[in-house]
Structure 1
Amino acid sequence: MPAPSDPRALLRGGLPDRYLTPDDIAELFDVPVETVYQWRKKRTGPPGFRVGKHVRYDPGAVHSWIAEQMATDISAAA
């Protein structure tokens, strides 16, 4: 992976410019990887997709999911 100071390494929103793994998602949200798998099973986390037997996440979809979560939190607090 390119160094974090490399402008090619990050998309807008601070996410890497590559498909993310469940480990990446766990690190991003500071949760155990088991939590990421539970989110996927319950369909409550960011949308992922399968590449063979591997799960991957589109950084743009993760960014959109984060924005939705933030909007839901704001409207629930009002």
Structure 2
Amino acid sequence: MLSKKNLMSPSEVSQMLGIPEATLYQWTYRGVGPRSFRVGRHRRYRIEDVEEWLEARARGGDHGAA
């Protein structure tokens, strides 16, 4: 079950990744980067999805490469 504790805002993800928040929005528009979804008018990221995306990048995978 999803809880609020499992969700991150774009600001939190950008800080975690060390990238500008605008980059996350560009990745979403282009369909790359960590998986995200909308909750009402707000974009959210599951911590597990961000970590999975990072692991895929570390392994050299092209799963949502920027």
The TM-score normalised by the length of structure 2 is 0.78
Aligned to 1:10: none
- Aligned mate of 1:22, from 10, 13, 19: 10
Aligned to 1:49: 37
Runs of 4+, deviation exceeding 4 Å:
none
Specify every segment of 5 or more residues in structure 1 that has no aligned partner in the other structure, as ranges: 1-16, 74-78
Specify every segment of 5 or more residues in structure 2 that has no aligned partner in the other structure, as ranges: 62-66
Name whichever structure is richer in strand by fraction: 2
Q: CA RMSD in A?
A: 1.2
Kindly indicate whether structure 1 or structure 2 has the higher relative contact order, using CA contacts under 8 Å at least 6 residues apart.
2
Total equivalences in the alignment: 57
Is 1:35 aligned to 2:23, yes or no?
Answer: yes
- Percent identity between matched residues is 30
